Structure 1
Amino acid sequence: MSVSMLSTFVKPMHPEGRRFVAIAGALAVILFLVWPPLGWIGLGLTIWVYYFFRDPERVTPDRPGVMVSPADGVVSLLEPAVPPAELGLGDGEMMRISVFMSVFNCHVNRVPAAGRITRVAYRPGKFLNASLDKASADNERNGLAIDLADGRRYGVVQIAGLVARRILCWVGEGEEMATGDRFGLIRFGSRLDIYLPEGATPLVAIGQTMVAGETVIADLGVAGAVAG
Structure 2
Amino acid sequence: MTIHREGYPTLAIVTITLGIINFAIWQLLPENNLVQNIVLIISLILFFTVLQFFRNPLIKVNINPNHVLAPCDGKVVVIEETIEEEYFKSPRCQVSIFMSPINVHVNRNPISGVVRFVKYHAGKYLVAWHPKSSTENERTTIVLQNEKGVEILMRQIAGALARRICWYVKEGQIVKQGTEFGFIKFGSRVDLFLPLEAKISVKIGDKTQAGVTVIAELGE
Normalising by structure 1, we get a TM-score of 0.88
Indicate the residue corresponding to 1:77 in structure 2: 78
Indicate the residue corresponding to 1:164 in structure 2: 162
Match among 168, 188, 191 for residue 189 of structure 2? 191
Deviations 1:5-48 (A, max 9, x none): xxxxxx20011101111111222223323142122212111111
Letter in 2 for 1:104: I
| CA distance in 2: counterparts of 1:84 and 1:107, whole angstroms | 26
* Paired residues for 1:89-128 under 5 Å: 89=88, 91-128=89-126
Letter in 1 for 2:65: P
Indicate the residue corresponding to 1:23 in structure 2: 13
| CA distance in 1: counterparts of 2:178 and 2:195, whole angstroms | 17
Indicate the residue corresponding to 2:69 in structure 1: 68
Quote the offset at 1:211 in angstroms: 0.3
Q: 1:212 to 1:50 in 2, by over 3 A?
A: same
| CA distance in 1: counterparts of 2:64 and 2:137, whole angstroms | 35
| CA distance in 2: counterparts of 1:57 and 1:117, whole angstroms | 24
Letter in 2 for 1:218: A
Deviates more, 1:27-36 or 1:172-181: 27-36
SS of 1:15's equivalent? coil
SS of 1:214's equivalent? coil
Letter in 2 for 1:129: V
Indicate the residue corresponding to 2:30 in structure 1: none
Percent identical residues: 37
Contact 1:30 1:39 in 2 (8 A): no
Match among 7, 13, 16 for residue 3 of structure 2? 13
Indicate the residue corresponding to 1:51 in structure 2: 52
SS of 1:207's equivalent? coil
Contact 1:84 1:137 in 2 (8 A): no
Contact 1:68 1:213 in 2 (8 A): yes
2:205 aligned with 1:215: no
Letter in 2 for 1:42: S
Quote the offset at 1:84 in angstroms: 4.3
Indicate the residue corresponding to 1:42 in structure 2: 43
Letter in 2 for 1:28: L
| CA distance in 1: counterparts of 2:47 and 2:115, whole angstroms | 36
| CA distance in 2: counterparts of 1:63 and 1:202, whole angstroms | 15
Normalising by structure 2, we get a TM-score of 0.91
More strand by share: 2
* Gaps in structure 2 of 5+ consecutive residues: 26-34
Contact 1:68 1:180 in 2 (8 A): yes
Return the index of the structure with the highest Cα Rg: 2
| CA distance in 1: counterparts of 2:82 and 2:134, whole angstroms | 10
